Amino acid sequence: MQVAIAAICAIYESTQMLPGLPITGENAGEAGFMVLSGPISLDDEHGESQRALRSAGRRYGMEVRLINHTPDPEITVAVAARRCYSSLGSEEVTSGLSPEDVKKLIDTIVKAGHLSPTEHASFTFAIEGVSRSLSHQLVRHRIASYSQQSQRYVGESGFECVVPPTIARNREALDLFEKQIDGIRETYSKLSEIVPKEDARYILPNACETKLIMTMNCRSLYNFFERRLCNRAQWEIRRLAREMLECVREVAPGLFSWIGSPCEMHGYCPEGKMSCGKIKSNGIQRGEV
């Protein structure tokens, strides 16, 4: 275990952090998570540490894949936008759009805030290596479809867990964390021999790793990204938002090139007194009237 911790620290010190994120406060925590759970490849020097982490039952990486989406999502949105402003019949309105026309139509509706045409494009993600703590936050985004690995039907003996970076970098905290997790694993295994899994699961922690399939339309993704790319968002779901944004930008850059945190898009912070200080606040905290 000492070898694993030492290697983690070495990787943390030598890994470049994301641009625009100073290693302070919450961002320091996210930087640590990037090292512990990011899609990075370890060279042979750290192979032993990787094995130690896996054998300790810690989840090593968040994995996000875009597994399906509306064919030609940008064209689909452009056709829907064109429908709103044209008297053409269905056959004509869906044909003859050049790439320049598509870009112009998308730019027009985005600048006007007329985003209902973007609801016609949907994106489906396969997500794993995230905690139940994250999934509890994720389902608050209600205009979406979720299919999550069931703890009622899938046994969790020897479950993997996501370790927060502040705990992973602190030896005392990590020892306490692992001791508690080991005890929960043992108790769960004993309980599941006595009672159904659906009842034994009540002892499982928020740190327990989960897997899910999620589908959102483009407009819902706009809302998700605006809320979860903010520095005030919890570090794990902020990382998920960045991974998802990378995925959709690859297939629909015209729809997502302008998306970012509220301060990046609007030039001010809506968090009021809770602002991270990256940009001047508008003085009104989200939710205030």
Instruction: Give the integer Cα–Cα distance in Å for 137 and 87.
Output: 43
Residue in the block written with tokens 């044909």: 95
Return the closest-CA partner of residue 247 out of 225, 265, 231, 262. Answer: 225
Instruction: Give the integer Cα–Cα distance in Å for 227 and 45.
Output: 39
Return the closest-CA partner of residue 174 out of 57, 48, 89, 28. Answer: 57
Verify whether residue 228 is a known catalytic residue: yes
Supply 242's token pair: 């960045």
Q: Are 120 and 217 in contact (CB under 8 A)?
A: yes
Q: Which of 82, 169, 185, 228 is catalytic?
A: 228
Instruction: Please report, as a single letter, which amino acid is at residue 163.
Output: V
**Eight-class DSSP state of 260:** -
Residue numbers annotated as active site:
228
